[in-house]
């Protein structure tokens, strides 16, 4: 009788080991499927727009100990018939929404804000990042290194224009 109770224990124990092994194998399979899942990544936006110039100007405050303020500006020529929804600047330490201003358009006065719905192919626009926004960074962009302009149209995912050279302008000194 004693022998049989031990046999039952080992059979039950083996059966439990097999169940655990199968469960662990299933977990590893699911985790591997998640890891190999294709991640969304921003694509090049050269077919939609081209970057004409990029510049930065530093404003140095007069008060000692105050940090200088960096003002970026980008001139972009829009080439697509699709209307952009939004523009963002991804600097090395920032993710900022951009103010869109007409740079050169026959339909609008130079320097005036332009609703993105009125943007047409061939228009030149001035993009100026606005610091202090609380816009969450999309997952497609989080793995980028920075120094890129990002935008999105109604039919596309996130697109980017690489900013390879930023011209430094003279510092503005505040009293």
Residue 34 φ/ψ, nearest 5 degrees: -65, -40
Q: Domain segments of the chain: what residues?
A: 1-37, 43-170
Contact 163, 78 (CB under 8 A): no
DSSP 138: P
Report, in angstroms and rounded to the nearest whole number, the Rg of the chain calculated over CA atoms: 28
CA within 13 Å, CB half, 26? 6
Whole-model pTM?
Answer: 0.70
pLDDT tens digits for range 10-60: 555 555 566 666 666 666 666 665 544 455 777 888 999 999 999 999 888
């Amino acid at each position: 009788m004693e022998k049989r109770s031990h046999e039952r224990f080992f059979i039950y124990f083996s059966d439990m080991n097999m169940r655990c092994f199968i469960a662990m194998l299933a977990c590893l399979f699911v985790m591997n499927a998640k890891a190999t899942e294709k991640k969304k990544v921003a694509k090049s936006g050269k077919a939609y727009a081209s970057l004409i110039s990029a510049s930065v100007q530093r404003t140095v405050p007069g008060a000692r100990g105050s940090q200088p303020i960096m003002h970026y500006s980008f001139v972009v020529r829009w080439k697509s018939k699709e209307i952009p929804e939004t523009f963002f600047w991804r600097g090395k330490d920032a993710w900022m929404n951009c103010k869109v201003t007409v740079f050169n358009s026959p339909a609008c006065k130079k320097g005036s804000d332009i609703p993105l719905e009125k943007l047409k192919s061939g228009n030149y626009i001035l993009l100026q990042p606005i610091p202090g926004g609380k816009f969450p960074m999309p997952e497609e962009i989080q793995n980028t290194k920075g120094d890129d302009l990002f935008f999105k149209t109604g039919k596309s995912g996130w697109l980017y224009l690489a900013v390879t050279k930023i011209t430094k302008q003279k510092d503005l000194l505040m009293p």
